[in-house]
Structure 1
Amino acid sequence: MLTRELLPVPLTPGGRLDINSGVARLSGKIWATLWKDDRRPAGTAVLIVHPSSNFLGHYALEELASRGVAAVGLATRYAGNDSALIMENCVLDVGAAIRHLRELGYDRIVLVGNSGGGGLAALYQAQAENPAITHTPAGDPADLAAAGLIPADRLVMAMAHPGRAVVYTEGLDPAITDEHLPFDRDPELDMFEPANGPVYSPEFVTRYRQAQIDRNRRITGWALQQIEALRAHTRGSEAPDDLPFVVHGTAADLRFLDLTLDPSDRIARTIWGSPWVANFLPASLGHLTSLRSWLSQWSYDRSRANAYRELPGVQAPVMVVYGSADCAAFPSHARGMYDAVGHQRRELVEIKGADHYFQGRPDLAATMCDHIVEWAG
């Protein structure tokens, strides 16, 4: 019989106040949902992670448990609010969950990075196998090297992109030249300007992609300057060490409108609907952040949760699963992660017709679960 229980996982404290809720901070816990078959002894646990999505009710949990493994969906300390998210703390949360599962008797852990969890899962496994990080990109203590992280036995990148900073930069609107005036736009770099496309010329794509990176780097430079400038606002012995800010235009990936780029079975849209609307929609990706979170989570050069960079050093077997109709994680993301793995204990699986959330296709979600359980060995 399949049962579901809520797991309280001991929280590894971070070095700063970055959770608004005092109740959450003082509880000393993060939470996970465990689905299992009570007729089976503890054995393999499949842990599904994401930096900020609440995976307590993840669509794959019951399907996985029905195939004989324990299925666990994690909610990190930043569930539902990534405005002050520090990736290094998310690594600590994944580590706490894996340690707790070992203590419950699970001797085999399959770590699944789903969607934006891909970069987090790759960073976790790399640090668990070869710990080295002692500070966040902003210089705050985050001693992953001394955290005793337990490596997962196998790694799965499921409907995943390589990392939040990567996919965020690929969606950053370079037509915005004044961060405070999102509708004062450079027509030469505007994907929504009909004269530019779609279809977009190779020359436009090259200029556009470089301008996206340039904008990300300008924001990073500004964030570093602001962190330094905060020292001037000391009162007595205290000074603020972080500030929130807004980033406009984060859903402007050319692939959202031009299906000839990174060809697949997807339709021309984003997971939030129309690209023009999603580009400014507060609920879409990364509009609200802080100086320190930007460096850890969104900075193209400084964020460490990048599967392209982390997977080459990972020794655990890696499977990459992607959907041919996904409009958030593209075929080139999957191929890039697969190619980044530095050994041959790897597998690349395409699920034909699957979009990012398997909407209306529970049969295809079941197919993904079949692959994961088979990979779990």
Structure 2
Amino acid sequence: MLKIAKGAPLETLSGIQNSDPRAYGRFVDPGHSKDVAYVLVHPTNNFMNHYLVEPLAERGRAVLAMNTRYSGSDSMLIMERAIQDLGAGMRFLREQGFKKIVLIGNSGGGSLTAFYQQQAERLTITDTPDGKPIDLKPEDLPPADQLAILAAHCGRAATLTDSLDPAVVDERDPNLTNEALDMYAPCNTPPYDRDWLITYRQEQKARNERLTQHALDLIANAPAGDDAFIVYRTKADPRTRDLTIDPSDRTAGAIWGDARTVNREANGLGRFCTARSFLSQWSLRLTRAHGPRCLADTKVPILNMGYTADSAVFPANVAEWTKAAEGRCTEYTVRGAGHYPQDKPDLVEEIAETLVQWGG
């Protein structure tokens, strides 16, 4: 349990958590050495049962698998606050006397850890993207010594934009569709026309920009400076159906099932948030937490691990991380690993062994 800074009103519906906020984690220390500790963290997912905790501990390494205050819900996620929460875990490990700390950025943890390390090396942020001040201080953010990127997308805004359905005609009515831009319409079938795909990607970015402006307008006019925000149809990345785009060993579909079904699920990617949260985590223009851009501003050694059967993170994403850390990046490919490889114990052991061989 880690004491963290107070955030926004109603950030959690627990009055105790609002008045005396805590972040929770699982610390496993075999006690063999204070030479190195590993940190697993994600903006919203509970990583306390992460598949690497036991394999790393069995190799004699201390592991802190921690959550941010937003565990279980990203509806009010502010990435600037999430790095402050991660800082509480980093301070804990330094106070325990660990000489080296290796941050592991798995999946959505990649952009969080890269954002954290960028600000830990040189703090520049004084507010959130909606203009509200935030009380970050250098002592809140002890820097890591190394950063491992594991099957990580490039950031929440980038991932959402790649998955936004550009066929949405009206943000208030999810059923209105421009069939010419609908990847699920009978007139558009895999393999998708490459000229059509260029237009499709442009329209996805245009939709994100419209959503960003809508969030800004809501904030400007809301009495409390914020408002509820809904984004419909958010699983429409052509790569989920067309395996010739950014080819890998993956199978068709999203990590949650059939992409067409997931696209319209009630609780899909980025479906519910607040306007100011949208700007911090989902806005392509205003988020500060674009992983590779943040990584380019850091100086530490990087391990970049790609999983070849991943249906959520694609080869182009892996390459973007490597390019951002050119000259200090070690690449490693895990053959046959999907986004969640815990059903393949041999691959989990391979991942853990690679981490300790590289990180110490």
TM interval, shorter chain, is: over 0.9
Matched residues in 2 for 1:269 and 1:359: separation? 19
3-state secondary structure, aligned to 2:348:
helix
Cα separation, 2, equivalents of 1:203 and 1:145: 48
For 2:29, the equivalent position in structure 1 comes to 36
Residue of 282, 288, 294 corresponding to 2:278: 294
Is the 8 Å Cα contact of residues 15 and 140 (structure 1) preserved in structure 2? no
CA displacement 1:146-186 (0-9 Å, x = unmatched): 55411100001111111111011100110111112212110
Conserved? CA contact 1:92–1:147, under 8 Å? no
Task: Give the corresponding residue for 2:340.
Answer: 357
Equivalent residues of 1:133, 1:143 under 8 A apart:
no
Q: Give 1:333's match in structure 2, choosing from 297, 317, 330.
A: 317
- Residue 249 of structure 2 is aligned to residue 256 of structure 1: no
1:92 corresponding residue in structure 2: 84
Say which is worse superposed, 74-83 or 17-26, in terms of deviation: 17-26
The runs of 5 or more residues in structure 1 that have no matched partner are 1-7, 231-238
- CA distance in 2 between counterparts of 1:283 and 1:351 reads 31
Q: Which of residues 261, 266, 277 in structure 2 aligns to 1:277?
A: 261
Aligned partner of 1:159 among 138, 151, 164: 151
* d(CA) in 2 for partners of 1:159, 1:283: 23
Structure 2: give runs of 5+ residues left out of the alignment. none
Letter in 1 for 2:214: W
How many residues are matched? 360
CA distance 1:282–1:43, change in 2 (3 Å):
farther
Cα drift, residue 25 of structure 1: 2.5
Deviations 1:67-106 (A, max 9, x none): 1111111110000011010000000011111001111122
Contact 1:58 1:73 in 2 (8 A): yes
Aligned equivalent of 2:199: 207
The one of 210, 219, 228 equivalent to 1:227 is: 219
Amino acid of the structure 2 residue aligned with 1:372: L
C-alpha distance in 1, partners of 2:266/2:187?
Answer: 28
User: Which one is further off, 139-148 or 332-341?
Assistant: 139-148
Contact kept? 2:11, 2:18, Cα under 8 Å: no
Partner of 2:330: 347
Worse overlay, 10-19 or 331-340: 10-19
- For residues 283-304 of structure 1, what are the alpha-carbon distances to aligned partners after superposition, in whole Å with 9 as ceiling and x for unaligned? 3311001000000010011111
Kept after mapping to 2: 8 A contact 1:171/1:253:
yes
Q: How does 1:91-130 map to 2 (within 5 A)?
A: 91-130=83-122
* Kept in 2: contact 1:35–1:72 (CA 8 A): yes
User: What percentage of aligned pairs have identical amino acids?
Assistant: 41
Contact 1:127 1:145 in 2 (8 A): no
Matches within 5 A, 1:3-18: 8-14=1-7, 16-18=9-11
Partners of 2:234 and 2:113 in 1: CA distance: 23
Structure 2 CA distance for aligned equivalents of residues 28 and 247 of structure 1: 29
Coordinate RMSD, CA, aligned: 1.3
1:376 alignment counterpart = 359
* Code of the aligned partner of 2:215: A
Of 288, 292, 302, the match for 1:308: 292
Q: Secondary structure at the match of 1:334?
A: helix
Give the Cα–Cα distance (whole angstroms) in 2 for the partners of residues 48 and 67 of structure 1. Answer: 16
| 1:24 Cα offset (Å) | 2.2
For residues 12-41 of structure 1, what are the alpha-carbon distances to aligned partners after superposition, in whole Å with 9 as ceiling and x for unaligned? 223554222223233432111012214x13
Deviation at 1:308, TM superposition (A): 2.2
Matched residue, 1:3: none
Query: Structure 2: how far apart are the matches of 1:323 and 1:303?
Result: 26
